[in-house]
Amino acid sequence: MAGITSYGLSSQSVLGLGSESFKSLLVMKGKQRGIRGFQIKAEVEFVNAEEAKKLVGVEGYAVLDVRDKTQFERAHIKNCYHVPLFIENTDNDIGTIVKRQLHNNFAGLFFGLPFTKPNPEFVQSVKSQFSPQSKLLLVCQEGLRSAAAAQRLERAGYDNIACITSGLQTVKPGTFDSVGSKELQDAGKAGLVTIQGKISAVLGTVLICKLHKSSTSSIQCFLISVF
């Protein structure tokens, strides 16, 4: 009878129902009240770099890098797993070709960002390597992709997920053993913006020397390469 009173059914209404009708009513009422609300749902944990290091070293979290291939190759945490949330878009339909050209002429040129699209096999690729009970530390460069990846994996049944707040750009050198030509925090830097400051310094020096030479014929100017 506890089940009856919990849904607020009177004795008269219950007695007037057959067994199958009564069961159907309970199912309907259960859906309306949201029985799934009784399930305990874990939340994604956001940690800083030092806390992330403890999760990996002490609590046994596996590092899953969700960045694109180019950033991953510049620098990544040693012994991590790589499943990109976005992959290079090589589609050749007219719309994609136009978008790729626009992208390459700006974001690609100035920031070294590849032209990508969502990885349709992301969740399945993770499932092929990790069970839903696995402890996963998701990492990306700025923290946005890892948060989005965590949301997708959470919907797929993973409930032991952590992300580094603001991503690998906040990780100081030496925090993790890394592989690659750059520090983890610099793996997102590419394109013309990485040499803009150096170019400005050289051009500024040349300009100063030129102005100085116009007023002093015997001056010697030494340019030190900053590249």
CATH 3.90.25.10 fits 45-186, yes or no: no
Query: DSSP states of 149-176 as a string?
Result: HHHHHHHTT---EEEETT-GGGPPTTSS
Sign of CA dihedral 179, 181, 183, 184: negative
pLDDT for position 83:
98
DSSP 83: -
Query: DSSP states of 47-58 as a string?
Result: E-HHHHHHHHHT
DSSP 189: -
What residue type is 71 in one-letter code?
Q
Q: Where are the chain's structural domains?
A: 2-38, 45-186, 201-227
Residue 84 main-chain phi, psi, to 5 deg: -70, 140
pLDDT for position 13:
39
Sign of CA dihedral 125, 128, 129, 132: positive
pLDDT for position 226:
33
Measure the CA–CA gap between 113 and 175, rounded to whole angstroms. 26
Residues in the chain: 227
- 143 in helix, strand or coil? coil
Q: Please list, residue by residue across 23-43, b when 16 or more beta carbons sit within 10 angstroms of its beta carbon and e when fewer do.
A: eeeeeeeeeeeeeeeeeeeee
Copy the structure tokens of residue 57. Answer: 């070293």
pLDDT for position 75:
96
Active-site choice (140, 163, 209, 221): 140
pLDDT for position 112:
54
**Is-catalytic flag, 80?**
no
Answering whether pTM is above 0.85, one says no
Low-confidence stretches of the chain (pLDDT beneath 50): 1-40, 108, 191, 199-209, 211-212, 214-227
Task: List pLDDT tens digits, range 170-185.
Answer: 999 999 999 999 999 9
pLDDT for position 39:
47
pLDDT for position 88:
83
Residue with tokens 């940690």: 47
